């Protein structure tokens, strides 16, 4: 440029003597490197590494020499120039590596490692669990707040927001998550401010059918965003060139860097949720002395395979019940269990209602009743058992038999009594006949009334004798009539037989004549 400005003539500049001196020194250093055997360099390096100590009198090399160390270094250089040459060569290269690493570290942005102190949480349905997330101190595996996050040069602010990448069970509609604060902003003013990000996780809805939520991973992602300052004002434009984003990034807030995202994974153990739905018929009628199985529908509303047991809280009276059968159900599965009922053999039941409370529990936790249902049973009807029927028949027979016996006994006894009475009467009458008239004749004369009585009595005594005679006569007449009738019928029979015989003979004769 200068040559063009000076009218197109090339003006040769004289070299500065200091420049020549520098070139000479540089050449000397280079020559030292060249002249020094390669093997020696390797050997020396190995020896340093093995011994882990420096040769006597050699001070550890540092690019930041402390006070006094430099003078010692010079004295050692003067005394042992060959050692110092090889040593210097090595350390020159070492320093190159050191500063290159320093440079790159300074101008590179690293993602912040964040995590939580609660890598596992246990949560149940309708429960809320809180935990903190923050910057991780990996040496102690502990989480700290988002503080002391240094801002690299040219970056004015950084922010971190959080998104959930995966919920346990891969269902988003059952989970509720809240980050407080939603976003962490670190700028030049508050790099040392404490940011305690509290996460509240709630499992909201109960299990729905076979899509029940079980244990799984909760993955939270951190999305860092950085805002760059104006690069044009920076004193080191070379650094800006190094970033190769001079124009693009100056004063720009970057988009979330998803590639460099770090995520935190939390193992969520979803507690077993035991619940069932019991479905029963409204009213079940059972006859006396009948046994009946009652099917009860059970739906598993829990989130795991569950074995459900049953209890009957109030068994009532008049019926015998057995506990329903234990069943195992998958989440959302519906199956029937059977309640066995036996009604007592009541003769007549006009309709008795029995309230039976069935309680369901999980075999995992038998003390906790998870569901309850009232079943109404109605016992109604008539029942005559063969035993009662037989006993009734038997008792009737016995009663009849007893009555028969009693009647007979009564009859026998009554006949005896009558006879005895008759005999007594006869005896008394005879006695009276014999004794009384004599006394009366002796003491009193008979009155006209007595006379009439006696006459009437005599008449009555005579009358039966007459009637008996008449009866006998009648009977004899009837006998005679019957005999006469039988005689007549026999005569008729003989006549008829004779007629038949005659006809038969006539017929024979006719037949004989024809022949």
Partner 1 sequence: MKKFKFILVLFLVLLLFTPIVASNVIAKDSIIRLNQQVSLYWDTVDEKDPIIPRDDLKKLNVTFEYSFDHGLSFSEGLYLNYVNYKDFEFTQTKHSPEGAYSKAKIDLEILDMPSWCHATFRHAQAIANLSSLFVGKIPLYIILDDDAPAYEQGYIQVKAKIRSPPAISYFNVFEKVFNLTFTPSYYPIIDVNLPEVNVKEIEPYETAIFPLDISNLGNDKTIVTLEVENLPNDWKATVTDSIIIEKNSSKKAQLSIKPPRNFGYTDEVGILRLKVTPKRAYDTSQIGDSLTISFLIKNKGVSVEGDGLFSAISMIIIVIIIFLVAGLYIRKKIKSKT
Which residues, numbered 144-203, are part of the site for partner 1 (CB under 8 A)? Answer: 168
* Minimum separation from the CB atom of position 83 to partner 1 (A): 14
Q: Is 401 in the site for partner 1 (CB under 8 A)?
A: yes
What is the spatial distance between Cα 265 and Cα 262, in angstroms, rounded to a whole number?
A: 10
Using the minimum distance from each CB to partner 1, give the nearer residue, 205 or 260.
260
Those residues with Cβ within 8 angstroms of residue 169's Cβ, 6 or more apart along the chain or in another chain: 211, 212, 213, 214, 216, 270
Using the minimum distance from each CB to partner 1, give the nearer residue, 391 or 481.
391
Pick out residues in 210-229 that bind partner 1 (CB under 8 A).
Answer: 214-217
In terms of DSSP H, where are the helices of 195-292?
Answer: 237-243, 246-249
Q: Which of 50, 52, 67, 442 binds partner 1 (CB under 8 A)?
A: 52
* Minimum separation from the CB atom of position 470 to partner 1 (A): 29
Q: Are the C-beta atoms of 489 and 497 separated by less than 8 Å?
A: no
Pick out residues in 18-37 that bind partner 1 (CB under 8 A).
Answer: 26-27, 30-31, 33-34, 36
Using the minimum distance from each CB to partner 1, give the nearer residue, 416 or 502.
416
The single residue listed with the structure tokens 């906790």 is: 368
Pick out residues in 452-491 that bind partner 1 (CB under 8 A).
Answer: none
Using the minimum distance from each CB to partner 1, give the nearer residue, 142 or 502.
142
* Minimum separation from the CB atom of position 387 to partner 1 (A): 6
Q: Is 327 in the site for partner 1 (CB under 8 A)?
A: yes
In terms of DSSP H, where are the helices of 163-297?
Answer: 237-243, 246-249
What is the spatial distance between Cα 321 and Cα 315, in angstroms, rounded to a whole number?
A: 7
Count of CA atoms in the C-beta half-sphere (13 A) of 38:
0
* Minimum separation from the CB atom of position 428 to partner 1 (A): 24
What is the spatial distance between Cα 74 and Cα 81, in angstroms, rounded to a whole number?
A: 10
Pick out residues in 354-383 that bind partner 1 (CB under 8 A).
Answer: 363-364
Stretch in the footprint of partner 1 (CB under 8 A) among 60-68, 229-237, 349-357, 369-377: 60-68
Using the minimum distance from each CB to partner 1, give the nearer residue, 9 or 108.
108
Pick out residues in 80-99 that bind partner 1 (CB under 8 A).
Answer: 89-91, 93-99
Q: Is 105 in the site for partner 1 (CB under 8 A)?
A: yes
Q: Which of 147, 165, 265, 380 binds partner 1 (CB under 8 A)?
A: 265
Residue 251, both tokens: 């004063």
Q: Write b or e for each residue in 43-80: b if 16 or more Cβ atoms lie within 10 A of its Cβ, otherwise e.
A: ebeeeeeeeeeeeeeeeebeeeeeeeeeeebeebeeee
Using the minimum distance from each CB to partner 1, give the nearer residue, 416 or 471.
416
Stretch in the footprint of partner 1 (CB under 8 A) among 69-77, 109-117, 469-477, 493-501: 109-117
Pick out residues in 295-324 that bind partner 1 (CB under 8 A).
Answer: 304-305, 307, 309, 320, 322-323
Residues 431-450 as x/- pattern, contact with partner 1 by CB under 8 A: --------------------
What is the spatial distance between Cα 295 and Cα 338, in angstroms, rounded to a whole number?
A: 5
* Minimum separation from the CB atom of position 45 to partner 1 (A): 6
Q: What is the DSSP letter of 283?
A: E
Stretch in the footprint of partner 1 (CB under 8 A) among 157-165, 227-235, 333-341, 476-484: 333-341
Q: Which of 3, 20, 47, 62 binds partner 1 (CB under 8 A)?
A: 62
What is the spatial distance between Cα 132 and Cα 200, in angstroms, rounded to a whole number?
A: 9
What is the spatial distance between Cα 229 and Cα 246, in angstroms, rounded to a whole number?
A: 11
* Minimum separation from the CB atom of position 287 to partner 1 (A): 12
What is the spatial distance between Cα 401 and Cα 394, in angstroms, rounded to a whole number?
A: 10
First to last CA, the chain: 186
Q: How far is CA 154 from the centre of its chain?
A: 59
* Minimum separation from the CB atom of position 409 to partner 1 (A): 8
What is the spatial distance between Cα 228 and Cα 243, in angstroms, rounded to a whole number?
A: 12
Q: Are the C-beta atoms of 345 and 366 separated by less than 8 Å?
A: no
């Amino acid at each position: 440029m200068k040559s063009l400005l000076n009218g197109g003539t090339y003006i040769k500049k004289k070299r500065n003597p200091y420049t020549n001196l520098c070139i000479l020194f540089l050449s000397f250093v280079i020559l030292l490197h060249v002249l020094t055997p390669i093997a020696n360099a390797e050997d020396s390096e190995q020896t340093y590494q093995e011994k882990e100590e420096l040769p006597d009198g050699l001070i550890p090399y540092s690019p930041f020499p402390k006070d006094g160390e430099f003078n010692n270094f010079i004295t050692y250089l003067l005394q042992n120039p060959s050692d110092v040459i090889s040593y210097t060569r090595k350390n020159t290269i070492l320093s190159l590596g050191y500063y290159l690493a320093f440079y790159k570290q300074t101008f590179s942005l690293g993602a912040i490692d964040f995590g939580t102190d609660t890598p596992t949480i246990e949560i149940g349905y309708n429960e809320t669990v809180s935990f903190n997330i923050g910057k991780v101190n990996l040496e102690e595996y502990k989480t700290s707040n988002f503080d002391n996050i240094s801002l690299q040069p040219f970056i004015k602010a950084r922010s971190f927001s959080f998104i959930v990448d995966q919920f346990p069970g891969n269902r988003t509609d059952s989970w509720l998550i809240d980050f407080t604060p939603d976003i962490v902003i670190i700028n030049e003013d508050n790099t040392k401010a404490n940011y305690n990000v509290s996460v509240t996780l709630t499992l909201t809805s109960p299990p729905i059918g076979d899509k029940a939520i079980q244990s799984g991973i909760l993955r939270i992602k951190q999305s860092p965003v950085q805002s760059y300052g104006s690069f044009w004002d920076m004193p080191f434009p070379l650094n800006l060139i190094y970033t190769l984003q001079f124009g693009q990034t100056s004063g720009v807030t970057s988009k979330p860097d998803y590639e460099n995202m770090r995520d935190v994974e939390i193992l969520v153990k979803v507690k077993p949720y035991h619940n069932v739905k019991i479905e029963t018929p409204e009213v079940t009628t059972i006859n006396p002395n009948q046994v009946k199985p009652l099917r009860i529908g059970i739906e598993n509303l829990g989130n795991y395979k569950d074995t459900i047991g049953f209890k009957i809280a109030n068994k009532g009276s008049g019926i015998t019940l057995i506990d329903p059968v234990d069943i195992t159900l998958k989440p959302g599965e519906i199956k029937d269990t059977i309640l066995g009922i036996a009604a007592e053999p009541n003769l007549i039941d006009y309709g008795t209602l029995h309230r039976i409370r069935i309680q369901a529990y999980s075999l995992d936790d038998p003390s906790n009743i998870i569901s309850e249902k009232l079943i109404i049973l109605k016992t109604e009807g008539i029942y005559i058992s063969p035993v009662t029927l037989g006993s009734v028949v038997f008792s009737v027979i016995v009663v009849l038999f007893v009555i028969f016996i009693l009647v007979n006994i009564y009859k026998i006894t009554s006949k005896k009594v009558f006879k005895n009475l008759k005999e007594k009467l006869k005896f008394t009458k005879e006695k009276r006949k014999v004794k009384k008239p004599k006394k009366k004749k002796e003491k009193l004369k008979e009155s006209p009334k007595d006379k009439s009585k006696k006459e009437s009595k005599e008449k009555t005594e005579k009358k039966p004798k007459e009637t008996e005679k008449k009866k006998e006569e009648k009977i004899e007449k009837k006998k005679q009539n019957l005999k006469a009738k039988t005689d007549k019928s026999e005569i008729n029979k003989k006549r008829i037989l004779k007629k038949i015989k005659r006809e038969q003979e006539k017929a024979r004769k006719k037949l004989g004549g024809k022949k």
